[in-house]
Structure 1
Amino acid sequence: MNPSRFLLLLALLQLSSFVISAQQHTINGHISDTETQLPIPHTEVFVSGTTVGVITDSLGNFSMKVPFLPCILVADHVAYESYISTLQNTNELLIKLHKRNFNIEEVHISGKNRRRRNLRFFYTHFIEDYSNKIEVKNDSALIFDRDEMHFTARSNEPLIIENNYLGYRIKLFLEEFTVTSTDGPKGKQIALNSPRGGFITKLKGYHYYETLENEKPDRKSYFNNNRRITYHGSYRHFLKSIYDDEPGKQGYKIFKYPKKIDAAFYQIEEKEPKNQARQYIIVADTLVIQYRFDDDEYPIPAEYLSERDHYNVRKSFIYSTKQPFTIRSNGTSPDPNFIIEGRMDKKNFANSLPEDYTPPKR
């Protein structure tokens, strides 16, 4: 089988609509025990999908700047149930946590071979690029459910994923990771072990990135270069070029099918000010996207192509679901309702960038 020939973009607990502001917002809050009303120190509070997070002080208080609103705020403490909420404004937060009930799930020795097989399948689809540099530190927390047509993984504690290619440690609260197989990007579902077709992967959860520069300062330039290479040519970079209305300038050439469609391949549902998100619909059935770049992995603007002896090209396909989706001003999307096949689908979750990552200018 050829894994991940096409990919339905990750459905990471996000918002159905999203507005991103150019300025940061300061959030203050207090966390306490629901029953005792006592403050809970050393609680991790973070914005899902970003590197933004703090720890509560000895009185259960915290203050942090969030990169955009609304956002998904998570408060996590090992002894309590996690708090997850969509944060709409900068009002002071009074968060109360419930004590966690610890249940130890039984592990059957007779299932060891099956678990090893499920782990191999999980890693094949969860970590694809640079798998030798990415490690799930606690894969014993994974729980699998598999039949002929479906594969599902979830975790009974946050997964700790260390990425030594991009320089992040990711804390993932995995609610559900599913793999199915279809006989085409929008075709009917077929058995997972079918020799034809390809896989559709979906992930539901929330997550937080910590950078590894402080732990490995000698690798800072290595991490930064890999992050930049990962960003350029990614679907986020492509969406950024659409938001900026300059795909050609950012290295992209787009072909739409059927060709008879006269309108642009995307449609602005509501045009907002430049510092806010916008709604789009892909009008065409299929988009063929060429990304043109130089030997240093920088995009080549269309206006400079005639001056070059050679350049590199990567090709991707986007299949429309004819559903609206949002693009924020930094190219991220909380609801990417389309299917990708080709090079832009390779940077999967375990090798992903935080939503507050800013690529360097050349």
Structure 2
Amino acid sequence: MNPSKFCFSLFFLIVLCPALFAQRATITGRVLDAQTQAPIPHTEVFISGTTLGCITDSAGYFELKIPFLPCTLVADHIAYESYIYTLQNTEKLLIKLEPRNFDIHEVEVSGKNRRKRNLRFFYSHFIEEYREKIKILNDSTLIFERDDMHFTARSNEPLIIENNYLGYRIKLFLDEFTVTSTDGPNGEQIPLNSMNGGYVTKLKGYHYYEPMENEKQLKQSYFENNRRLTYYGSYRHFLKSIYNNDPGAEGYKIKIYPENIDAAFYQIEEKESINLARQYIILADTLAVQYRFDDDEYPIPAEFLSDRYHYNMRKSFIYSTKQPFTIRSNGTSPDLNFIIQGRMDKKNFANSLPDDYTPPKR
């Protein structure tokens, strides 16, 4: 089978577990130069994976709402090394940034053709959908490594991604983006250029979404509708239905393999009642997930199927790694530990939604 027709993805945007809930608490802090102790104004401070961010004032102070705990806080300034911190509570922060050393590297003319090939390969796996509407404004900062078995991309500076389909500008601190090939979802690794098996992509990093302002109402409505279409039927929508213990009400039907397993998702016992995030493990080897939706792409609850002569359907497969993972109350997960194939596959990070996105009700 051609690898381009058979792809799997595992996306990790920093593992934080367990994830405890917070009622949109507020944190405050100050950003200083680590060497001079002088305040650093105009520093961008944000919660990774969300639209929640702010800029320090002239004295280096900031105040920021947080959606859940723990979460990853990032402080970024062009003249300093980025500061990354796992926030466990609403403590007051004193952040000290180290000045950044700027190195000027000469471009090797002899490597231009190889770099073009690596860029094409990177784009084909990093942006698989709506590529004409998504741009990386500074792909010259990407650094590639490639051999017969692995492809890796890194960046020493944040990548700036403009998504004109969902209406976000994404700042991505890319630690590592890797592509490998396996002989089946849980099979052995095989060479990248093999005609069998499929690709597995993994991403590690921190990112921040900035909604793109648009004065035209028609364009804003276009963004909002595309966000809705992206959410419904996604793995996040599916995980929220699992968290609510009613996937049928959200249009999902799950078939379990092997069939003698009692439950697809097993909730691990919680020790603290205040923890509104839950840990699960998939006991089955494989789940076949059907998503049923109407012509407006809203889910059709199972109880209404008997009244309809027509509905649309998409199918995905989930392959278990038998490792626990966390689901927050809004369906997001900081430690996704299974492989997805099909429509729910998060195969396009650049076309993803922020963790604090709230879908519209019908």
TM-score by length of 2: 0.97
**Paired position in structure 1 for 2:235:** 235
Counterpart CA distance in 2 for 1:314 and 1:277 is 28
1:5 deviates by 2.6
Kindly provide the CA deviation profile for residues 156-192 of structure 1, in whole angstroms up to 9, marking residues without a partner as x. Answer: 2110000000000000010100000001000001110
Quick one: which amino acid aligns to residue 16 of structure 1? C
Counterpart CA distance in 1 for 2:347 and 2:167 is 15
**Paired position in structure 1 for 2:212:** 212
Quick one: which amino acid aligns to residue 43 of structure 2? T
1:19 deviates by 1.4
**Paired position in structure 2 for 1:123:** 123
1:273 deviates by 4.6
Quick one: which amino acid aligns to residue 126 of structure 1? F
3-state DSSP of counterpart to 2:304: helix
3-state DSSP of counterpart to 1:334: coil
**Paired position in structure 1 for 2:268:** 269
Q: Tell me if 1:11 matches 2:9.
A: no
* 1:216 to 1:109, Cα distance in 2 relative to 1, 3 A: farther
Kindly provide the CA deviation profile for residues 114-164 of structure 1, in whole angstroms up to 9, marking residues without a partner as x. Answer: 111000000000001111110101110111000110000001211000000
**Paired position in structure 2 for 1:251:** 251
3-state DSSP of counterpart to 1:116: helix
Counterpart CA distance in 1 for 2:275 and 2:97 is 35
3-state DSSP of counterpart to 1:228: helix
3-state DSSP of counterpart to 1:248: helix
1:82 deviates by 0.5
Q: For the Cα contact (< 8 Å) 1:158–1:172, is it kept in 2?
A: yes
1:266 deviates by 1.1
Q: Tell me if 1:62 matches 2:62.
A: yes
Kindly provide the CA deviation profile for residues 7-32 of structure 1, in whole angstroms up to 9, marking residues without a partner as x. Answer: 232111130321123x2111100000
Percent identity for Structure 1 against Structure 2: 71
**Paired position in structure 1 for 2:305:** 305
Q: For the Cα contact (< 8 Å) 1:181–1:190, is it kept in 2?
A: yes
Q: For the Cα contact (< 8 Å) 1:181–1:200, is it kept in 2?
A: yes
Q: For the Cα contact (< 8 Å) 2:126–2:347, is it kept in 1?
A: no
Counterpart CA distance in 1 for 2:358 and 2:9 is 24
* 1:67 to 1:4, Cα distance in 2 relative to 1, 3 A: farther
1:215 deviates by 6.0
Q: For the Cα contact (< 8 Å) 1:14–1:72, is it kept in 2?
A: no
1:126-141 counterparts in 2 under 5 A? Answer: 126-141=126-141
Q: For the Cα contact (< 8 Å) 2:19–2:68, is it kept in 1?
A: no
Q: For the Cα contact (< 8 Å) 1:243–1:327, is it kept in 2?
A: yes
**Paired position in structure 2 for 1:89:** 89
TM-score by length of 1: 0.97
Counterpart CA distance in 2 for 1:281 and 1:232 is 23
Q: For the Cα contact (< 8 Å) 2:11–2:346, is it kept in 1?
A: no
How many residues are aligned here?
A: 360
5+ residue gaps in structure 1?
none
Q: For the Cα contact (< 8 Å) 1:129–1:346, is it kept in 2?
A: no
Q: For the Cα contact (< 8 Å) 1:4–1:200, is it kept in 2?
A: no
Counterpart CA distance in 2 for 1:4 and 1:40 is 49
**Paired position in structure 2 for 1:342:** 342
3-state DSSP of counterpart to 1:3: helix
**Paired position in structure 2 for 1:194:** 194
* 1:227 to 1:215, Cα distance in 2 relative to 1, 3 A: same
3-state DSSP of counterpart to 1:30: strand
1:275 deviates by 6.7
Counterpart CA distance in 2 for 1:56 and 1:69 is 22
Q: For the Cα contact (< 8 Å) 2:158–2:174, is it kept in 1?
A: yes
1:67 deviates by 1.1
**Paired position in structure 2 for 1:226:** 226
Counterpart CA distance in 2 for 1:217 and 1:172 is 28
1:105 deviates by 2.9
3-state DSSP of counterpart to 2:21: coil
Q: For the Cα contact (< 8 Å) 2:9–2:347, is it kept in 1?
A: no
Q: For the Cα contact (< 8 Å) 1:55–1:62, is it kept in 2?
A: yes
* 1:240 to 1:172, Cα distance in 2 relative to 1, 3 A: same
Kindly provide the CA deviation profile for residues 228-281 of structure 1, in whole angstroms up to 9, marking residues without a partner as x. Answer: 0100000000000000001000000000000012x2111111246587100000
**Paired position in structure 1 for 2:72:** 72
Counterpart CA distance in 2 for 1:264 and 1:273 is 23
Quick one: which amino acid aligns to residue 13 of structure 1? I
**Paired position in structure 1 for 2:110:** 110
Counterpart CA distance in 2 for 1:106 and 1:179 is 27
5+ residue gaps in structure 2?
none
* 1:213 to 1:274, Cα distance in 2 relative to 1, 3 A: farther
* 1:4 to 1:15, Cα distance in 2 relative to 1, 3 A: farther
